[in-house]
Structure 1
Amino acid sequence: MIIRELLTHRWGNKELVTSPSYGTVEKVLAKANTKVSEWEPLFIIKTENGSCEQIAVGISGVINSVHVKIGDHVIPGMVMAFIEDDLLDSDIS
């Protein structure tokens, strides 16, 4: 299994988790309204060439929403989830 540690992109006040490759979602480890740690596995994608990629991102926070389910086809750049970054909380105080 290939471990893909991705950078997120900010959209408004949330971070986007996007697919890095073409493939099919094999596992969804992320659940809405749950806290995740930096580099925690969120998804497993089976790529077109048959390899599996474990997707993790370099932020911690709360998963706001998940936009894929097992069996969904994904393409590079497709939004799979939104995360509210922990750093946003510290900016408010």
Structure 2
Amino acid sequence: MKYEVFPRRWGYEEIITAPVKGNVESIKVESGEQVHEQQLLVMIRAEQGHVKHILTGASGTVESLTVKVGDNVVQGDVLFFIKDDL
């Protein structure tokens, strides 16, 4: 199952948050990388055992990652900051 993340705005940055509670299984982008809408960012294994593919709803540059593989997250935890393309 895939999730498109509708980012929250913070100035010129988008805040990508976890839509489900689970464990970060893999991260598909790095800090400084250019991303585009619908690009896979991270995979989270939900408590029910299903892997959720988290896609970005924004294009820009990954400013920072706040999680790493193996981290436990809950719904609403910040995963990434993405600086908008202007």
2:81 is matched with 82
SS of structure 1 residue aligned to 2:83: strand
Whole-angstrom CA distance in 2 between matches of 1:60 and 1:13 = 12
- Alignment correspondent of 1:54: 53
Supply the distance in 1 between the matched residues of 2:4 and 2:39 (Cα, whole angstroms). Answer: 9
Q: CA RMSD in A?
A: 0.7
Task: Determine the C-alpha separation between the residues in 2 that align with 1:15 and 1:58.
Answer: 9
TM-score by length of 2: 0.96
Q: Which runs of 5+ in 1 are unaligned?
A: none
Deviation sequence 1:37-63 (CA, Å, 0-9, x none): 111000000000000000012111100
Which residue in the other structure is 1:65 paired with? Answer: 64
Identical columns (%): 37
Specify the structure having the higher radius of gyration (Cα).
Answer: 1
Structure 2, unpaired ranges of 5+ = none
**Map of 1:15 onto structure 2:** 14
Count of aligned residue pairs for this structure pair: 86
Structure with the larger helix share:
1
TM-score when scaled to structure 1?
0.89
Please give the alpha-carbon distance, in whole angstroms, between the structure 2 residues aligned to 1:30 and 1:82.
Answer: 12
Deviation for aligned residue 1:3: 0.6
Structure 1 Cα separation of the partners of residues 39 and 56 of structure 2: 7
CA–CA separation in structure 1 for the residues paired with 2:11 and 2:59: 17
